[in-house]
Chain A
Amino acid sequence: MGLLLIMNSRGDTRVAWDVADAGSLDRARRMVEEAYAQGKGVFRLDEAGVATRLKEFDPEAREIVVIPRLRGG
């Protein structure tokens, strides 16, 4: 079971997926692809909190975090 967290103004949107459930898997994949299309950052987190930037959806990930597009301040 994986968890997708998408940061937004409400805190974050959480979507769970299961590799055995094609519907939830497809939904999570589409949300991540939409994030890429919007220029957002996608990161995989392991149990220790170590992050890795992803270039595509990883269905085996434990947790995926999507951050908004960034700019220099």
Chain B
Amino acid sequence: MGEARYTTLIRQGYLEFPSRLRRGRVYRLDSSGNLSCRDPGQSTSSTTLCIQSTEPVPRADVLALRYLMVTADEPGLLATANPVRFSLRAITIAIYRDARERYGGLGAFLYTLGVLGLFLAALAVEGASAVGLLSACPVVGLILCVLAAPVAVLGFVLVLAGLADLWMLVVGGICRLWGSDAAPLPEGVGPLEDG
């Protein structure tokens, strides 16, 4: 990464790189190799970008390969890394990408739809049985509530994650409308080129 940049990484514990593709986004790579990003409206780099090697490599090389991806192949980084944050979109992406390796594109799509549908349907059953059946048919309602509860909890978490996405969409949109363009690239960060 060059002497100057390496010295900065050791001294301050991280490097930051403005995104060339996403307006206002800033990537942070720390000295432990953790890669995260901060979008407009966020005060901290709360989204971890989890990208890893398919074969074991030394820890220092994990930092090096993430540095290479963020500075020289941002499209590849975004296509491969799983964003780890409390977000329905991030959860959906992680499920889909994991399934895609086993089932291919269409299979992964159906699998993801099925998993999310199952959790949300369980939440709907929980709600319906709690509101409707408990008064009309207490025994059946109670049984359905108990059976659906474990899965419904995950459905509730998905709804909260969706609300978090909606919140970030609104806040991020406001910040983009009111904020300036993305910061210029720091010296030494080369342009994305095709080799």
Contact = CB atoms under 8 A, between A and B. Distances in A.
Interface residues of A, number: 29
Contacts of B76: 41, 53, 70
Contacts of A12: 61
Given A49-B2, A50-B189, A65-B68, A70 B52 contact: yes
Nearest to A52: B193
Given A12-B61, A48-B2, A71 B54 contact: yes
B184 interface: no
Given A53-B76, A67-B65, A9 B1 contact: no
Contact of B65 (A52, A58, A70, A72): A70
A42 B69 CA distance: 10
Contact of B55 (A41, A42, A46, A68): A68
A73 B57 contact: no
B129 to A, nearest CB: 37
Contacts, number: 106
Contact of A53 (B1, B52, B54, B72): B72
Nearest to B77: A70
A55 interface: yes
A49 B71 CA distance: 10
B82 interface: yes
B184 to A, nearest CB: 16
Contacts of A11: 58, 61
Contact of B94 (A41, A47, A72): A72
A58 B194 CA distance: 12
Contacts of B165: none
Contacts of A69: 53-55
A56 to B, nearest CB: 6
Given A52-B190, A68-B57, A41 B69 contact: yes
B81 interface: yes
Given A48-B188, A52-B195, A70 B80 contact: yes
17 contacts: A7-B57, A8-B55, A9-B56, A41-B69, A51-B71, A53-B73, A53-B76, A53-B192, A65-B68, A67-B61, A68-B54, A68-B55, A68-B65, A71-B80, A71-B97, A72-B81, A73-B81
